[in-house]
Amino acid sequence: MRAERAPRARSGGLFVGRLVAENGTATLFEALDLYPGARIDVAGTGPEERRLAAHPRIRLLGQVGRSELQSRMRGAAYLVLPSLSYEALPRPLIEAFANALPVIASRLGTHAELIEPGRNGLLFEPGSARELARRLAWAEAFPEKMRQMGECAQADYRARFGADWSYHRLFGERRRTARI
C-alpha cells in the first residue's frame, strides 16, 4: 500500500504576461506597496521589466517555458491578472483554472464572466491598487479558502473547457447536421 502524499503547500502570487502598462503592471506595483504581506513571481518580459525589478516583493522570472510555468502555477496560491484592457479569453486565466489556481483579476470582460468572486477567484475594479491590495491581503490571510477556490476553478475548467465539453461542441453539432 502506497502512502498518500500530502498536497504541496501553495504560497505567494503569480503574474503571467507581457510586462506592459495595459496589463496593469503599475496597479500591481502600487498594490504591493499598499500591502507588504504579498510576494509575486512575475513570468514575462517587456518594457515595464526594469520598473518591476525595482520592487522588493516582485521576483522576475523572465520568459519561462511551458513546463516551468505549469510548475509555478501548481506552487502559487493565486494568479494575479490586473489587466486594464479587455481580452477575449486570456490564456493565463484558463491555464490557472486547469491547475486549480484561483485568479485575482480586474473586473473586465471575460474575467468578470468566468470568475465568480468567492467561488473560483476574486475581482477588483480595474486600476484600483487599493482594492487589489485588499484582495491580496484577503488571499494571504485565508489560504484554505483560496485552495478551495482553486478546486472550484479546476472543476469549472473541466466543465467549460475540458475534453467532454470540447467533444460535444465540435462533434455534437456535426452529428445532428449530418443526419439531416
Domains of the chain: 13-179 (3.40.50.2000)
Grid cell for residue 126: 480595474
For 81-90, 102-111, 138-147, which range has the lowest pLDDT when averaged over its residues? 81-90
pLDDT tens digit sequence for 43-97:
999 999 999 999 999 999 999 999 999 999 999 999 999 999 998 889 999 999 9
The string over 149-160, giving b where at least 16 C-beta atoms fall within 10 Å of a residue's C-beta and e elsewhere, is: bbebbbebbeee
The owner of cell 485575482 is 104
pLDDT tens digit sequence for 8-50:
689 999 999 999 999 999 999 999 999 999 999 999 999 999 9
Amino acid at 54: A
Q: Which helix (H) or strand (E) holds 179?
A: helix 173-179
What pLDDT is stored for residue 52 in this prediction?
A: 97
Q: How many residues does the chain have?
A: 180
Distance between CA atoms of residues 132 and 10, nearest Å? 20
Please check whether residue 25 is in contact with residue 48, taking contact to mean a CB–CB distance below 8 angstroms. yes
